[in-house]
């Protein structure tokens, strides 16, 4: 495990390579097949992302490695769509069947293949189904970026409070983090297709692994004095946030994902 993570350190994002936050992303958990390496996976995803960004419209790929939490040592990947309209252009409906179910993505893949990009990999196998997540209150964000490490937690919201919760996220939660903590942002996504449809997840984005480590030096740690100082600035808004949940934010399971440089 340590060797794998050491190799991945050369592949992760730094803050200078922070990426634009997609309005929609799909998430698929995977397992690498025997005799295939993390480097092979990163290289495959990198050239796939390059081809999609070159020939496509508002579409790319992302890939991450779990370094703490439930999926420690596991990989995840999926599509990243600049805007929801881009997702709907390539995938107008959920789970359509048949050879011509999605003509736009089929045409894009054909164009990429003709240009020499590989779109067929046997490096990994999926570990469960997919979920498409849409960012709650995306229009309220100003030039949002996703950092080099993202902590992901499910956040089941109390029944009947979804509308109020989403309004709170856009009008209070996002501004609190934007104004008070440098290098850390909270983003809320809601599943609109696939296994996680209608469920919420929270992405805590850190500009770097180093910043996360300065707050939480080891897995399961309660937080340093630096963490306490910074997060006291958003304590009130987090208390209100927790009031919408069936459990508090930290009572839900998590995985910290390191973004693989594509």
- How high does pLDDT run on average in the chain? 92
- List, in order, residues 6 or more apart from 257 with CB less than 8 Å away: 64, 65, 66, 67, 71, 76, 149, 150, 151, 152
**Is residue 56 pLDDT above 60, yes or no?**
yes
Nearest to 260 by CA among 45, 27, 37, 113: 45
Residue 208 pLDDT level (bands cut at 50, 70, 90): very high
Burial tier of 55 (Cβ tally within 10 Å: 0-12, 13-18, 19+): middle
Q: What is the mean pLDDT of residues 69-86?
A: 97
Phi/psi for 89 (5° steps) reads -70, -45
Condensed to tens digits (0 to 9), the pLDDT of residues 81-115 reads 999 999 999 999 999 998 889 999 999 999 999 99
Q: Which sequence spans correspond to the domains of the chain?
A: 2-259
Residue 13 pLDDT level (bands cut at 50, 70, 90): very low
CATH class given for the domain over 2-259: alpha beta
pLDDT score, position 99: 81
Q: What is the mean pLDDT of residues 61-73?
A: 96
Rounded to an integer, what distance in angstroms lies between the CA atom of residue 154 and that of residue 79?
Answer: 20
Stretch among 2-6, 87-91, 159-163 having the lowest mean pLDDT: 2-6
pLDDT score, position 73: 94
pLDDT score, position 5: 41
pLDDT score, position 262: 84
**Is residue 1 pLDDT above 60, yes or no?**
no
Residue 21 pLDDT level (bands cut at 50, 70, 90): very high
* Helical ranges in the chain per DSSP H: 2-9, 38-55, 84-90, 103-114, 162-168, 174-180, 209-215, 225-231, 235-243
Phi/psi for 233 (5° steps) reads -70, -20
Nearest to 169 by CA among 150, 148, 144, 194: 144
Phi/psi for 11 (5° steps) reads -110, -10
Residue 176 pLDDT level (bands cut at 50, 70, 90): very high
Q: What is the mean pLDDT of residues 177-191?
A: 96
Distances in Å between the Cα of 193 and the Cα atoms of 80, 86, 127, 151 are 14, 15, 17, 22
Rounded to an integer, what distance in angstroms lies between the CA atom of residue 190 and that of residue 196?
Answer: 8
Residue 17 pLDDT level (bands cut at 50, 70, 90): low
Q: What is the mean pLDDT of residues 165-190?
A: 96
Residue 11 pLDDT level (bands cut at 50, 70, 90): very low
Partners of 63 in beta bridges: 77
pLDDT score, position 229: 95
């Amino acid at each position: 495990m340590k060797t794998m993570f050491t190799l991945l350190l050369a592949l992760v994002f730094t803050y200078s390579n922070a990426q634009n936050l997609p309005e929609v992303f799909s998430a698929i958990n995977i397992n690498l097949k025997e005799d295939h390496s993390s480097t092979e996976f990163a290289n495959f995803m990198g050239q796939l992302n390059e081809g999609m960004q070159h020939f496509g419209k508002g579409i790319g790929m992302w890939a991450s490695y779990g370094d703490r939490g439930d999926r420690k040592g596991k990989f995840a990947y999926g599509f990243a769509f600049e805007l929801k309209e881009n997702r709907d252009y390539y995938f107008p409906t959920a789970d359509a069947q048949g050879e011509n179910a999605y003509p736009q993505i089929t045409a894009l893949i054909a164009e990429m293949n003709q240009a020499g990009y590989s779109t067929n990999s046997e490096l990994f196998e999926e570990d469960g189904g997919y979920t498409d997540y849409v960012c709650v209150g995306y229009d309220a964000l100003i030039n949002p970026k996703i950092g080099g490490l993202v902590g992901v937690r499910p956040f089941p919201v109390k029944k009947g409070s979804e509308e109020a919760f989403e309004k709170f996220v856009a009008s209070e939660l996002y501004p609190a983090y934007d104004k008070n903590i440098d290098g850390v942002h909270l983003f809320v996504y809601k599943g609109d297709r696939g296994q996680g449809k209608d469920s919420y997840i929270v992405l805590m984005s850190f500009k770097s692994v180093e910043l996360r480590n300065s707050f939480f030096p080891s897995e399961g740690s309660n937080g340093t004095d630096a963490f306490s100082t910074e997060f006291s600035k958003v304590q009130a808004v987090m208390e209100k946030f927790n009031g919408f949940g069936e459990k508090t934010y930290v009572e839900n399971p998590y995985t910290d994902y390191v973004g693989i440089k594509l």
